[in-house]
Amino acid sequence: MAEHPAIPIDTVQGHMLTDDGSRLLIKTEQPLALAVQTSALHDLLAAVIAGLAEARARAPQGNKEKLTFAVEWWEIGVSQDGASMVLSFRLGNGAEFCFQIGRDQAPHMRDVLSTITGNPPRSTVPGGAVQ
């Protein structure tokens, strides 16, 4: 922090959009709220995720908790160029996160889901392929 003047923030106490919706106000223990332009929120999220990953990598062994969110809705689709799959997850508050992965990962995902749920893929049900 010595390279850049910084105000340490130890807790986030709340957040809200400004009346005109142009900024996200983030209330902390400091006397001033952070006012982030909504057009910068994607970059802020990317910075937070990168910071979490770096902090996790530096954490002592055994302190590698994954950040998880309860999902209200999900969807699997194809990217606009058709080269990859898009996994979309919506949280209870309406926030939506989308992840792009190679289409070649679909068989592995199917196998993992089958193992976790204990349900064999439909194409390998005993007695032959499903018609």
Could you read off the pLDDT of 92-119 as tens digits, one per residue? Answer: 999 999 999 999 999 999 999 999 998 8
Token digits of residue 11: 């807790």
CA–CA gap between residue 83 and residue 100 (Å, rounded) = 10
121: confidence class by pLDDT, cuts 50, 70, 90: confident
Q: Residue 116: which domain range?
A: 71-122
In a domain, 77, yes or no: yes
Which pTM value belongs to this model?
Answer: 0.69
Tokens 């349900």 belong to 119
| Same domain? 20 vs 50 | yes
Higher pLDDT, 123 or 44: 44
Average pLDDT over residues 49-62: 84
Yes or no: say if 27 and 41 are a contact pair by the CB < 8 Å rule. no
What's the average model confidence in pLDDT over 32-47?
95
Q: How many domains does the chain have?
A: 2
Q: In this predicted structure, what is the pLDDT of residue 60?
A: 80
Sheet containing strand 84-91, strands side by side: 71-78, 84-91, 96-102
Q: Does some domain include residue 92? A: yes
Asked whether residue 41 is assigned to any structural domain, the reply reads: yes
Q: Tell me the CB-side half-sphere exposure of residue 113, using CA atoms within 13 A.
A: 8
For residue 66, the model assigns a pLDDT of: 78
Tell me, yes or no, whether 82 and 44 share the same domain: no
Contact indicator for 77, 88 with CB cutoff of 8 Å: yes
